[in-house]
Amino acid sequence: MTLIIPDEILRITGMSEIELRQEIAILLFQKDKLTLGQASQLAQTDQLRFQYLLASRQIPIHYDVAEFNEDLETLQNFNKL
């Protein structure tokens, strides 16, 4: 899907395209509509930089038990290599 945002909207907001993408990504992340990975992808930045962006706004990172278990499994598989 492609979303077209008129240049006039960018002009009115005084934002660049990347700033607008970041704002949308932050909003959707805060509302639990996107994961950290999905939101960073929408913001067109890596996860670490997106985390810094969230931290600069004092927005907590959602990290539940399921995500912890996924990370643990990834690390265990990495150690097997």
The candidate with the shortest Cα–Cα distance to 54, out of 5, 66, 10, 46, is 46
Residue 7: per-residue pLDDT: 92
6-34 burial: b if 16+ Cβ within 10 Å, else e: eeeeeeeeeeeeeeebbebbbebbeeeeb
Pull the structure tokens for residue 70: 């996924």
pTM of the model: 0.73
Pull the structure tokens for residue 22: 């970041």
**Who contacts 61 (Cβ-Cβ below 8 Å, separation ≥6)?**
36, 51, 54
Residue 69: per-residue pLDDT: 81
pLDDT tens, the chain, 81 aa long: 888 989 999 999 999 999 999 999 999 999 989 988 899 999 999 999 999 999 999 998 877 787 778 778 888 887 776
